[in-house]
Amino acid sequence: MHAPKSLSDSELILLFKNGDRKAYEEIYFRYWAVLFGHARKMLNDDEDAQDLVQDVFSIFWTKGAQVNITHSLPAYLYSMMRYKIFDYISHQKIKSEYILSLADFIEKNEYSADYRVREKQMEAIIAKEIAALPSKMREVFELSRRSHLSYREIADELGISENTVKNQINNALKILRSKLGTVIFTLFF
Burial (CB count <10 Å: 0-12, 13-18, 19+), residue 141: buried
| pLDDT of 33 over the 60 cut | yes
Nearest residue to 84 via CA among 129, 51, 127? 51
Residue 142 makes CB contacts below 8 A (sequence gap 6+) with 130
Instruction: Examine residue 115 and state whether it is found in any structural domain, yes or no.
Output: no
Measure the CA–CA gap between 79 and 177, rounded to whole angstroms: 28
Q: What is the mean pLDDT of residues 2-18?
A: 82
Per-residue pLDDT tens for 125-140?
878 888 888 889 889 8
Q: What is the mean pLDDT of residues 59-85?
A: 85
Q: Which is more confidently placed, 99 or 14?
A: 14
Instruction: Examine residue 42 and state whether it is found in any structural domain, yes or no.
Output: yes
* CA distance readout (Å), 154 to 134, 141, 172: 17, 9, 15
Same domain, 79 and 21: yes
Instruction: Examine residue 105 and state whether it is found in any structural domain, yes or no.
Output: no
What does the pLDDT read at residue 189? 47
**Given 56, 87, 118, which residue is the final one in a domain?**
87
Residue 19 makes CB contacts below 8 A (sequence gap 6+) with 65
Per-residue pLDDT tens for 81-125?
888 888 887 777 666 666 666 666 656 655 555 666 767 777 788
Q: What is the DSSP letter of 99?
A: H
Nearest residue to 38 via CA among 2, 71, 74, 64? 74
| pLDDT of 185 over the 50 cut | no
Nearest residue to 83 via CA among 60, 52, 108? 52
Domain range for residue 33?
4-87
Instruction: Examine residue 107 and state whether it is found in any structural domain, yes or no.
Output: no
